[in-house]
Chains A and B, each alone.
Chain A
Amino acid sequence: MCLAIPGKVVNVEKGFATIDYSGEKRKASTELVKVKPGDYVIVQARFVIQKIPEKEALEAIKQWQTSAAKKRTKERK
């Protein structure tokens, strides 16, 4: 399944955005989509490809964390 995980833009500098994924930070080019700090975005191949409304992004992050936690519990068993 190809549902991507959104992250939050914390900084934009020289065509690159620093994006926070629940603590882990990654950089992505803003050549395709212009963004500003606070935006929630989807990244593909190290490029920001889409802005996502905050409400939807938070919902998706929550779902992803829940399913990741479930997976971990399953693996421990």
Chain B
Amino acid sequence: MANKRSKEKNERKEIKEEIRKARKEEMSPERYFLMYAYPCSFVLVDLGKITEAKRKELEKKLLKNEPISKQELEKIFASAFRRLKQIAKETERDYWDFSVLRKYWLEEHNRFIDSGDGEYGRATSSFRELCKVHKAEVLTKEENILTVQYDHTKRKVFATLVPETKKGDKITVHLAFAIERID
């Protein structure tokens, strides 16, 4: 009996996993990349590397689900693509492959920061922590603001990219934004 229940539970879990995968695959790799790079676009404006008009244009495309140019993303986020190409080469895949993008944002991105790659080499610890992608749990949600927790850090971030998120969800966080729901 217990076995049957656990089997059913496993089957339900598998179905859920399939649905989640299918949803993700509907998303274009450009969109997936930009979700994670979106918080950086504000910083690029502050640094004078892109205009506010360009940032808003990217934001509109991201939030309204409009097509996004790969070429443009590669130009704007050049250092991310330098690292993506490195990972792609090691794993023998295309650098726009979902698995490469996922590996970058969920694993390698933080490792690059810790290893002091590029400009991160001069960054002190508070900046490094802020730039990292963190896996966090949603503690509370008030309109567009989520209180999240990871390790011993409790912070408030925007729910702009994951409006359907609720208390108890596991999400990723990059700078001031919740990025996507994870298991």
- Which residues of A pack against B, CB within 8 Å? 1-5, 31-33, 42, 44-45, 47, 49-50, 52-53, 56, 59-60, 63
On whether the beta carbons of B122 and A63 are closer than 8 Å, the reply is yes
Pick from B119, B145, B155, B156: contact of A3, CB under 8 Å? B119
Docked complex: B116-154 residues within 8 A CB-CB of A: 118-120, 122-127, 130-131, 145
Question: Shortest distance in angstroms between B111's beta carbon and chain A's nearest beta carbon?
Answer: 16
Q: Given A3-B131, A53-B126, A59-B124, answer yes or no on A47-B40 (Cβ-Cβ < 8 Å).
A: no
Question: Shortest distance in angstroms between B40's beta carbon and chain A's nearest beta carbon?
Answer: 4
Question: Shortest distance in angstroms between A61's beta carbon and chain B's nearest beta carbon?
Answer: 12
Residues of A within 8 A of B98 (CB): none
Residues of B within 8 A of A56 (CB): 124-127
On whether the beta carbons of B124 and A3 are closer than 8 Å, the reply is no
* CB nearest to B55 among chain A residues: A45
On whether the beta carbons of A60 and B130 are closer than 8 Å, the reply is no
Stretch at the interface among B42-50, B66-74, B88-96: B42-50
Question: Shortest distance in angstroms between B71's beta carbon and chain A's nearest beta carbon?
Answer: 20
Contact of B104 with A by CB under 8 A: no
Q: Given A44-B176, A47-B176, answer yes or no on A2-B39 (Cβ-Cβ < 8 Å).
A: yes
**Chain B: interface residue total (CB-CB under 8 A):** 26
The CB with the most chain A CB atoms within 10 A, among B43, B119, B145, B156, is that of B43
Pick from B122, B125, B130: contact of A50, CB under 8 Å? B130
From DSSP, what is the main secondary structure of chain B's interface residues? helix
* CB nearest to A55 among chain B residues: B124
Assembly CA distance A5 to B49 (angstroms): 13
Residues of B within 8 A of A32 (CB): 145, 155-157, 176
Assembly CA distance A10 to B176 (angstroms): 22
Pick from A1, A5, A45, A53: contact of B119, CB under 8 Å? A1
Question: Shortest distance in angstroms between B134's beta carbon and chain A's nearest beta carbon?
Answer: 13
Assembly CA distance A47 to B127 (angstroms): 17
* CB nearest to A64 among chain B residues: B47
Question: Shortest distance in angstroms between A27's beta carbon and chain B's nearest beta carbon?
Answer: 14
Pick from B79, B123, B124, B156: contact of A33, CB under 8 Å? B156
Contact of B175 with A by CB under 8 A: yes
Assembly CA distance A4 to B149 (angstroms): 22
